[in-house]
């Protein structure tokens, strides 16, 4: 169960479901809720239009869930749906509030599945709707208005309270004091009813659904404080606590508003990605007219116009136009990339300089952007070791805290003879000060911020426990081809070669898909393709011209004698033209531009670095010397790589394997944690725990640095929440913390935890420290 019990009622519902079973829980919940609550339905969702039919015969439905409070709310929904017939998986992401259900059977089962979520007391809405009526934004506006009313009333009540306090020495008569109390009541009671609505509504909705949440004890505390004050006023008592009740509400609202804003900042990355896919796109029809469609409604093969300065809303290939594209949303690279016909672009990229016409290859949930969001969601909601610790502690909240509050009240009244009014206020302070929000946020806040930071650097987490395992790494093993190198041949410069020779060879090379031909064409740049080029498999290309045949290919193909090449020499092509000397084009798989710098930084930080490759000894030795790796092995097959990794782990090393996620699956799985450089189209296929994009190796250092910082912040958050509860609870129990002080302490603890997590967002990366 990967959950965090932020609200006590979710913990209670968890225990109740395990005790009674899901059906019995529903029966009890419905009995408490009453017919009106059972009849409450969400607005029409048109579920049939939102169901996606998958190739494997399953159906998929994605909706937004409103009313989520904590990780246990996620667990309740997932557990209830998982027990429905036909359901293969049900996942709720607390960050984006997306519910994804996959099931086998009739499409009509969607209505019953949605009803299951409603019966738990949550509201469903279309996930792909533009959030103009986002309940989160409306909730924050309500909090702000309530906070303003509570603050204004608190200032006026405090003026009346100062008069009462100054009159306690005997200068104020009973009638005057009672009048002041009644004036305070006239201001405080309407304020409590209005400003307390965010807490009261949440508490009532939870109780109607047969559960509780953190707003229940808050509502009880504010109501009890106001009721005690009204009782004292009616009976001409000396003490009323209207000022405390309103100030308590004010500070609770301040804390709740700031907490909501901070949580919004923590989840802004995923929501920003989702927002990129909501803008309508311009689809060109066959008759030349244009129409605006939602990205998810654009069919494959359609032609889309993307104006300069507009974001791409679909995945596709450039059909017409030349422009520069900002690819930072995918690769993390800030330099624009030129594109021309045939180039691939992805949803979320920004067209910078000129209009483009694209042929659609994927839209909606099939785009790379949607895949990135799903990866972020999966990484944020997994169950790591620290999450399990927080779960076990928070699970005890409901029985322990209410028992402590009741015991505190009874001890003060029965054992110490304190009047019931102040004893009740002490018990209220205990209820408020022990709210486990800080504990619930200690781990997920760091996870969300870390995922955000890595995503901005072009790094995606595919495993929820990857950060925790990366923090323990002390040994890094690199593969060669496609990892330390770019994995593609590049044409080497040759002073003896003329530009005209390169351009002529490129006219033949552009007619072939061979990697060396494509590298040659890439070096020459855009240009014409010669007519009549014939490709000879395994040899090269030839073209008939006046005076004979032109050939571009291997030594043997162009008529040269085979000679043994020095070890370490890369591949080559030869251009042979009638009456001219053959011209050699040499290629090499170059090291990434920052490979040597990154390896040096890792070694300086204390990591052990190795290179394992299946390539020839001389080639591996040359690359190892170039990038600065002293420990290397060549001619190592996949089994040999796995054996070496097993050897390192047996020696007590924690190994990060960095390799090609498509070809080194066995080696990646054999390491403690793995990372892979991958192009955009490979993200879903790679077997690695993490994926970094672009042509730099620096993300490996950024990844390790972020993991170390995240691990330290999680430990700091958990340590702070432990110290807070060890000191705050006893202070409240002995009567040294009023409900007002308890509200400030409770809100501050949550803000401290979130603020500490947000330090990771602004920290500089790239310095991996062991």
* Residues with Cβ within 8 Å of residue 148, at least 6 apart in sequence: none
Q: Would you state the structure tokens that stand for residue 517, as one six-digit string?
A: 């031909």
Q: Would you state the structure tokens that stand for residue 676, as one six-digit string?
A: 């892979």
CA geometry: angle 53, 55, 56, nearest 5 deg: 105
* Residues with Cβ within 8 Å of residue 281, at least 6 apart in sequence: 292, 293, 295, 298, 304, 306, 313, 314
Say which of 3, 479, 660, 705 is annotated catalytic: 479
Closest CA relative to residue 505, chosen from 478, 525, 479, 485: 525
Q: At what angle do helices 22-39 and 197-208 cross, to 10 degrees?
A: 130
CA distance 156 to 159: 5
* H runs (alpha helix) in 381-443: 385-395, 397-410, 420-433, 437-441
Q: 475-478 and 608-612 as β-strands: parallel, antiparallel, unpaired? A: parallel
Q: 315-320 and 356-362 as β-strands: parallel, antiparallel, unpaired? A: antiparallel
What 3-state DSSP class applies to 93?
coil
Beta strands in 580-664 (DSSP E): 583-588, 608-612, 631-633, 655-658
Active-site residue 479, yes or no? yes
CA distance 337 to 327: 7
Count CB atoms within 10 A of the CB of residue 720: 17
Q: Would you state the structure tokens that stand for residue 298, as one six-digit string?
A: 């654009």
Please state the three-class secondary structure of 289-319 as a single string. CEEEECHHHCCCCCEEEECCCCECCCEEEEE
CA distance 550 to 569: 25
Residue recorded with tokens 């322990």:
400
* Residues with Cβ within 8 Å of residue 65, at least 6 apart in sequence: 77, 92, 97, 98, 99, 117, 122, 123, 124
Quickly list DSSP for 228-285. HHHHHHHTT-S---HHHHHHHHHHHHHHHHHHHHHHHHHTHHHHHHHHHT-S-EEEEP
Residue recorded with tokens 């110290």:
723
Q: In the 8-state DSSP scheme, what is residue 132?
A: G
CA distance 548 to 536: 17
Catalytic residue numbers?
479
């Amino acid at each position: 169960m990967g959950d965090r019990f932020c609200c006590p009622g979710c913990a209670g519902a968890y225990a109740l479901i395990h005790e009674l079973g899901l059906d019995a829980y529903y029966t009890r919940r419905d009995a408490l809720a009453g017919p009106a609550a059972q009849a409450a339905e969400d607005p029409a969702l048109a579920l049939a239009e939102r169901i996606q039919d998958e190739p494997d015969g399953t159906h998929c439905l994605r909706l937004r869930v409103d009313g989520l409070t904590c990780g246990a709310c996620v667990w309740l929904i997932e557990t209830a749906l998982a027990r429905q017939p036909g359901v293969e998986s049900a996942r709720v992401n607390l960050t984006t509030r997306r519910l994804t259900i996959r099931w086998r059977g009739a499409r009509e089962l969607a209505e019953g599945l949605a009803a299951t979520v409603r019966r738990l007391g949550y509201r469903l809405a279309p996930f792909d709707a533009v959030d103009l009526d986002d309940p989160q934004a409306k909730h924050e506006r309500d909090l702000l208005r309530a906070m303003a009313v509570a603050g204004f009333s608190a200032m006026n009540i405090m003026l009346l309270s100062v008069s009462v306090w100054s009159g306690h020495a005997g200068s104020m008569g009973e009638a005057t004091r009672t009048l002041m109390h009644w004036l305070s009541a006239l201001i405080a009671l309407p304020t409590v009813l209005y400003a307390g609505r965010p807490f009261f509504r949440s508490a009532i909705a939870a109780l109607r659904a047969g559960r509780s949440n953190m707003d229940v004890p808050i509502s009880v505390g504010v109501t009890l404080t106001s009721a005690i004050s009204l009782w004292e006023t009616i009976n001409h008592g000396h003490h009323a606590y209207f000022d405390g009740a309103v100030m308590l509400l004010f500070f609770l609202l301040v804390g709740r508003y700031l907490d909501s804003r901070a949580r919004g900042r923590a989840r802004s990355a995923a929501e920003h990605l989702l927002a990129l896919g909501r803008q309508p796109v311009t689809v060109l029809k066959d008759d030349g007219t244009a129409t605006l469609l939602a990205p998810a409604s654009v069919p494959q093969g359609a032609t889309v116009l993307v104006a300069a300065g507009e974001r791409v809303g679909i995945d596709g290939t450039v059909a017409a136009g030349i422009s520069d594209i900002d690819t930072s949303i995918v690769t993390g690279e800030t330099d624009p990339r030129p594109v021309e016909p045939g180039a691939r672009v992805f949803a979320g990229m920004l067209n910078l300089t000129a209009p483009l016409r694209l042929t659609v290859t994927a839209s909606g949930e099939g785009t790379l952007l949607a895949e990135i969001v799903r990866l972020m969601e999966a990484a944020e909601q997994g169950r790591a070791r620290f999450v399990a610790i927080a779960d076990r502690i928070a699970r005890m909240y409901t029985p322990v805290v209410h028992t402590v509050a009741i015991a505190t009240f009874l001890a003060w009244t029965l054992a110490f003879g304190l009047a019931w009014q102040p004893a009740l206020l002490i018990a209220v302070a205990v209820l408020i000060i022990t709210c486990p929000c800080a504990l619930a946020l200690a781990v997920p806040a760091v996870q969300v911020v870390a995922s955000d930071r890595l995503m901005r650097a072009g790094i995606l987490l595919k495993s929820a426990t990857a950060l925790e395992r990366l923090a323990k790494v002390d040994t890094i093993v690199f593969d060669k081809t496609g990892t330390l190198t770019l994995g593609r041949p590049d044409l080497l410069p040759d002073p003896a070669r003329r530009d005209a020779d390169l351009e002529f060879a490129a006219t033949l090379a552009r007619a072939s898909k061979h990697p060396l031909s494509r590298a040659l064409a890439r070096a020459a740049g855009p240009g014409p393709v010669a007519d009549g080029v014939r490709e000879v498999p395994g040899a090269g290309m030839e073209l008939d011209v006046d005076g004979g045949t032109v050939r571009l290919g291997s030594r043997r193909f162009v008529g040269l004698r085979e000679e043994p090449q020095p070890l370490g020499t890369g591949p080559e092509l030869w251009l042979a033209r009638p009456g001219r000397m053959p011209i050699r084009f040499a290629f090499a798989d170059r090291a990434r531009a920052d490979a040597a710098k990154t390896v040096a930084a890792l070694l300086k930080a204390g990591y052990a670095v190795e290179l394992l490759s299946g390539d020839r000894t001389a080639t591996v030795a040359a690359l190892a010397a170039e990038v600065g790796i002293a420990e290397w092995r060549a001619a190592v097959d996949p089994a040999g790589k796995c054996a070496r990794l097993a050897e390192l782990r047996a020696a007590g090393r924690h190994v990060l394997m960095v390799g090609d996620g498509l070809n080194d699956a066995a080696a990646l799985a054999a390491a403690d944690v793995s990372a892979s450089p991958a192009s955009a189209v490979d993200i879903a296929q790679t077997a690695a725990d993490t994926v970094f994009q672009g042509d730099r190796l620096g993300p490996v250092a950024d990844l390790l640095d972020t993991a170390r910082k995240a691990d330290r912040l999680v430990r700091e958050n958990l340590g702070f929440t432990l110290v807070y509860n060890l000191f705050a609870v006893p202070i409240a129990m002995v009567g040294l913390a009023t409900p007002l002080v308890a509200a400030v302490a409770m809100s501050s603890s949550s803000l401290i935890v979130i603020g500490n997590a947000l330090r990771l967002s602004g920290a500089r990366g790239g310095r991996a420290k062991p």
